Every structure is written in C-alpha cells, then in structure tokens.
Chain A
Amino acid sequence: MNYMPGTASLIEDIDKKHLVLLRDGRTLIGFLRSIDQFANLELHQTVERIHVGKKSGDTPRGIFVVRGENVVLLGEIDLEKESDTPLQQVSIKEILEQRVEQQTKLENEKLKVQALKDQGLSIPRADTLFFFFFFFNIFY
C-alpha cells in the first residue's frame, strides 16, 4: 500500500510466506520472491500441500514459477499462527493414498448420479455437484 496507496499490489508481499491456490486445485506454500505486472509469481522453498479431510501432507517442491492467470487466490501466512492449523500433518505417502481413496469415492458418486440421471431421476446435491465439476476439470 505504501508504494501505491489505494490499490492492491503484490509488492508488499515479497519475501513473505504465502499460500497460493491454483486453478487446477493445487495448494502451494512458499516464499514469494518475485512478481511482474501479470502477477506471475516466483515462489521459493515451495511446498505443495495436499489435504484430504482433516489430514494434510506436504511435498517439498523447490522453486515454482506460476503464470499469473492460473492463480485463484493467494494470501500471506502468519508464521506465528501457522502451526495453529486444525489439519493433522501426515506423511506424503499416506496423504496420497487418502487422496486416491477420496477420488475413487467421488467417482463412484458420480457414476451413481449418472446412473440415476439415465433412469430419469435427478437428485441434485450441491456438494457432489461441485466435486463433480471440480474433478471433471482435473481429469478431462
């Protein structure tokens, strides 16, 4: 804000730890080192955090350069409060297994809904619909 008062700018966020949510659903946590006018981001010491339910697992990824248009949102992480997360940290292997489980579960749901639709019954459920489209984007 000091550089350009009255506007939102990423300049003040440089060298701070951020959580970045990408359009493909990935969550990256890293130090924002550099930006440009398109809000392309350079993240340092990045960690990809996968979370399933109440558990989350981190994969270290190194340096990321993210094209600006792929960012959904990003926010600064308060390092003092960082450890206050309600998520339980688990190992990467476990979290990946959990994710696979979740995905298969959702796919089954999707098939069920599809089957019902074919039979003429449509039961719209807001949550499944969201995941349906969400994962639809992932896979197709």
Chain B
Amino acid sequence: MAPSSGLCPKVITANYYESQDLASKFTGVPHQSELGSSSQDEVKGKHHQVCLPEADSALSPEEAAVEEVGHPAKMTCLEGPHSNQGPDKSCGPMAPEEELVSASQLEEEEENEEEEEDLDPDLAPDLEEGVDEEEEDLGDPAILSAVTNTQRGLPSSPGIKASGVLGMSPASLHFLWQTLDYLSPVPFRPTRPGTSSPVRHFGPRLLPPDPYVFCSPPTSWSPRFSLPSHLTQLHPQHQRILQLQQHSQTPRPPAKKPWSRQSDAYANLMTRKEKDWVIKVQMVQLQSEKPCLDDYYYQKYYQKLEKKEADEELLGQRSKVESLKLVTPYIQKAEAYESVVRFEGSLGQVAISTCFSPRRAIDAVPHGTPEPEIGAASSQRLRVLSWIEKMFLQLLEIEEGKKNGPPQSCYSEQQRNQVEKLFQALKTQEQNNLEEAADGFLQVLSVRKGKALVARLLPFLPRDLAVSLLLAIIHHLPLLVKRDAADQVLQMLFKPLGKYISHLTFHELLQGLQGLMLLPPGSSERPVTVVLQNQFGISLLYALLSHGAKLVSLDPSLEEPSSDHTAWTDIVILIAWEIAQMPTASLAEPLTFPSNLLPLFCRHVDKQLVQQLEATMQ
C-alpha cells in the first residue's frame, strides 16, 4: 500500500495528521475503508475499513451530496471485507448498513484514493488480528454513534452552509469533520481488552423489541464504559466536538445514546428517494408565478436577512455565512381548461372529473345576481371596507408598476390611466350626487386603511387632483378629526399632503381656511377649536398659515387692500385669538412648527396677544 506521498492538499494532510494522532491513541479503530481499487487488496487482510458515516436522514441534500462527494468510501465494497469474516456476522447488525451502503454512490475515484491512502497507512500498523471479530460488532455501534454524532455535530458545524459549492475544500472540510466526528465517540476503545467481551454483546443488543428501553435510562450501558479517563485521552479537537455535541450543562459520557443505537437499526426506513419525493410534492404545492406577491412575507424576510448578513460581513463581524433560501419551483401556469362540458342542445352538463375538480359536476359559481340593497349601517360600513380593498388592489398594481418599471418620475401612459381611474373611484364611489361623493370620500378617510390608501396614492397623483383632495380634506377637517379620535392615524397623511400645500394658490387657501372659520349653526364653537386640539389638524393649520404668509410676502400685490387681504387678516387674527383662548394643555403638539408663524401673528395682532401666543405655542 503506497503511502500517501503524492497527495498533499492541505486539508488532507491535516486529516492525515489528525488520524495519525488518533491512531496512536485508539488502537483498533473500527473503520471500514473503501476498497474499490485493486491496490487495496493487500490491505484487505488487515481489515482497514473506514466507515465514513453515511449522511443521516437529518442532513440536507447538499450536505449529503457534499458528503457523497467527499466520502465516497461509503462501504460500497462491504462485501469484500465481509467475505473474510463470514456472512453470518454480516447479516444481522450489518443489514442496515448495507442499506446505507446501497443508498449512497461513489462519486470520485480520486477521493477514494486519497482517503484510503491517508487512513490506511495510519492505521495499518495499529491493527491486530484480534480486531477482526471485534470490528464487526464494534463497527455497528461505532458507526451508529458516529452517525448520531454527525447528526448532532453537523448542525453546529460552520462550514455546512457553504456546502452548496461542491468544491474540494468544503468536501474535504466535511470529510475532516466527519472523520473527527466519527472518531470522537471512540474514546472508550483503549479499554478494549477489558471491554471486549461485553462489547460483543452490542450486536444482538441492538435489536431489543421491547418498549422499556425508552422508559428506563441506559443503565445497562454504564458498566461497559465505566472509565472516565477516556475523556482526558481525547484529542483537544475531539473534546471540543464532544462538548458541542452534548448541548447540555451537565457533562455526561458520550456513550449514553441507547436510543440512537437502537433506533438506527430501523433508521432510514424512509429512504432518501422517498423523502425527496415528499419534498417534491410539497414544493409543487408552493409553486407560483409571482413569488413576490404570493409569498411576500418570506421574500421580504429573506431580503432583510441577506442585507443584515451582508452588512455584518462588511463590518467584518463574522465570516460570510450564507443562509439558505427556499426556492420554489417556477412552473408555467397551466392554461385554463374546461371542467364542465356542455353538449349542444342538451339540458345538462356532463360531469368530468379531473385532478383539480374530482367531483365538480355542475357549475356551482353563481352568476351576477346583485346583492339586494340593505340599508343597515353595518352593511354600509362593509361596503366601504370592500370598496377600500378594491382600490387598494389597484394601488398595489400601480406601486408594483412603479417599482418594476424604470425609475423615472414621469409615468407611463398606462400608469397615468390607472391612477386616474383610481382617483375617480376614490372620489365618486359610483355615486352621482356630489354631496354623496364627498361623503363617500369622507367615509373612506374615516377608515384607517382608507387613510393609508390616500396617503400612498397622493405621490402618484398629478398636481391638480392632489390639490383637490387636499382641499376636500381641509374642508372636512373638523369631521375627520372627530372621527379620527379613535385611530389617531391621520398623521400619516401629513407628509404627503404637506408637499402639495405649497402648490395651493392664495385663493384656494383662503377658501379652505374660511370654511374652517365659519360658525356652524347652533353652536358657538368654531370648527377651528376642534382642529387645534388634534395633532394632525394643528400641523396642517400651521402649514397652511405658513404657506399663506409666504405667499403674501412673496407677492406684494396681495398686500394691497382687497377682499382677499381682509379675509386673510381676519383669518389670521381669528386663529391667533383661538390659540390664545385655548388652554395650553389641550393644544396639540404640531408635527412641524413653521418659523414664519410668529412673525405673521406679530404683524396682524397686538403685542399682548403675541406674548400670549408665544407662551402657549412654545
């Protein structure tokens, strides 16, 4: 057996070192190597069988694939070594392994060579003849415990996630990990002379049919491994692996895994193929044409996760760790088929059962019978809500179009049409009367979602439409404020509206504000007071006043005495008076405080009032 002189990729060498180290400690390591090549024939006599643990069911396909790449020695030639030991021994406990074996595949010959050459020379000098029989029995628990160790160890291994790339180094890393994993539970081996006979009982003990096993703790195992010193003989890396695997505060001897040994006799009843099949079926159910819509939350979550990881990587906080993403299969939607067949002149429908509609015998979908009008308030509310939902869908389409399309501020013709349509829908709500239309708009705004809808629609609207919305809102401000008392979400409208305030002409502004000043019949309180008590209201008011002041200062013609000007001054004085009147506590905190308000008040109002205003407003 040629020594591993020719191969020195770094990892393999390291592995060589490791196994050499281990080999010195653990004589008679039971392992089964890949004996595919002819050069191994001479080794057969020594039964150097490296059992590289089969990927357990818990592993992902990528890991398994990597493993298969990295550990081709999956006991495919178990028959070889078995033949030396006789078939009877290989039957019972080996049966599951053979299943394991048959399930795996040889991937790369080169890896075979490397691994064998690595391990065999290490362990060749250490094996004795008597190991043979032991190995059969020992092989089992060793393998099984190795399997469980991989089961446990792998989730904590850092290199796993990068194993999407089936390159050499991840494979080698895996191999290294696997071997170390595998070899780590072996520590009790040195006591072989003492444990040889009880160890032999492992074989039959593997298949106890009784359920008592999981009721009682593994007391039966403890006498076998009563030597605590085995832990100290571990290679430091093995110790680390062990600690990782244990996941518990109290250290316990690693041999206490009776359930694993026992169940692994029945393990992989569900083969890899079957698991893949189940997963395939589940994936088929997940397929969709537009995952961004259908699976919105997961896609957004994954984007956030990726961004976070990229940031962390950028900051150097941790090495690149790729988290896996669920990739749903993309399948062209099957074109619609007719599940109901009608013959000409027949009075009925032929029942065709397909996989999508096994029992669909008649067309059970109702055709356009309009719902009878119910005058109840709840139905009205429901109607408003459903209307908002429909508009929201349109809005989402518009937003989607903006997101997907080229980032430009001028919208395509189609988008503009959509926006127009939506606006019309919003304003009119299929009502002919203007009053009712305004009322409808108000109802939309009374609902939290409606406010969100308007807030999100405003950036898309052309100037004049947006201004009309703004005016409508100003006009109905007291009502909105009253209705918003429960939700307090009018604030979301402030930012988009604020942009359009600056587009208002002086005249429009006056009109809007005058509406607020009018004393409603039967009440001594002006609408302004209510507005001032609400955060959104007061912010909007301040913004309007500030805009008015700006307009006046910019356009000297407005300074001249005119009806507009007097109206403006009246409004300002009135508002100032109202603010001063109001107790400071009930005055809401505005979202923004424009700087030209106080000077505005100074100009039109006497000093005393201004001082009062200063006090209240700050």
Cα of A14 to Cα of B278 in the assembled complex, Å: 13
Q: Which of A2, A33, A37, A42 contacts B324 (CB 8 A)?
A: A2
A4 touches B58 (CB 8 A): no
B326 touches A11 (CB 8 A): no
Which one, B196-204, B264-272, B455-463, B536-544, is touching chain A?
A: B264-272
Q: Which of A3, A14, A17, A36 contacts B61 (CB 8 A)?
A: A3
Interface residues of B in 220-265 (CB under 8 A from A): 248, 252, 259, 263-264
CB distance from B123 to the nearest CB of A (A): 30
On chain A, the residues within 8 Å of B59 by CB distance are 2
Interface SS of chain A: mixed
A31 touches B266 (CB 8 A): yes
Q: Which residue of A lies closest to B271 (CB)?
A: A34
Which one, B211-219, B371-379, B385-393, B598-606, is touching chain A?
A: B211-219
A34 touches B269 (CB 8 A): yes
Q: Does A51 contact B (CB under 8 A)?
A: no
Q: Which of A9, A17, A80 contacts B214 (CB 8 A)?
A: A17
Q: Which of A17, A36, A79 contacts B278 (CB 8 A)?
A: A36
Whether A35 contacts B259 in the complex (CB less than 8 A), given A5-B323, A14-B275, comes out as: no
A15 touches B267 (CB 8 A): yes
Q: Does B20 contact A (CB under 8 A)?
A: no
Q: Does A12 contact B (CB under 8 A)?
A: yes
On chain B, the residues within 8 Å of A12 by CB distance are 58
How many residues does chain B have at the interface if contact means C-beta atoms less than 8 Å apart? 40
On chain B, the residues within 8 Å of A34 by CB distance are 269-270, 274
CB distance from A138 to the nearest CB of B (A): 25
Q: Which of B60, B248, B301 contacts A3 (CB 8 A)?
A: B60
Q: Does A47 contact B (CB under 8 A)?
A: yes
On chain B, the residues within 8 Å of A36 by CB distance are 278
Q: Which of A6, A14, A29, A89 contacts B270 (CB 8 A)?
A: A14
Q: Which of B270, B281, B285 contacts A33 (CB 8 A)?
A: B270
Cα of A135 to Cα of B344 in the assembled complex, Å: 56
On chain B, the residues within 8 Å of A89 by CB distance are 215
Cα of A47 to Cα of B213 in the assembled complex, Å: 11
Q: Does B282 contact A (CB under 8 A)?
A: yes
Q: Which of B63, B213, B266, B282 contacts A2 (CB 8 A)?
A: B63
B259 touches A17 (CB 8 A): yes
A79 touches B259 (CB 8 A): yes
A44 touches B278 (CB 8 A): no
Cα of A34 to Cα of B277 in the assembled complex, Å: 12
B326 touches A47 (CB 8 A): no
On chain A, the residues within 8 Å of B56 by CB distance are 15
Whether A6 contacts B279 in the complex (CB less than 8 A), given A14-B270, A15-B268, comes out as: no
On chain B, the residues within 8 Å of A5 by CB distance are 323-326
Q: A14-B275, A15-B267, A58-B215 are in contact. List 19 more A-B contacts (CB 8 A).
A: A2-B61, A2-B63, A5-B324, A5-B326, A6-B301, A9-B279, A11-B279, A14-B270, A15-B56, A15-B58, A17-B214, A17-B259, A33-B270, A37-B278, A37-B285, A44-B269, A60-B210, A82-B214, A89-B215
- Among all A-B residue pairs, the 9 with the closest Cβ atoms: A2-B60, A5-B324, A6-B326, A60-B211, A37-B281, A34-B270, A33-B269, A15-B267, A5-B326
Give B residues with C-beta under 8 Å from A.
56-63, 210-211, 213-215, 217, 248, 252, 259, 263-264, 266-270, 274-275, 278-279, 281-283, 285-286, 298, 301-302, 323-326
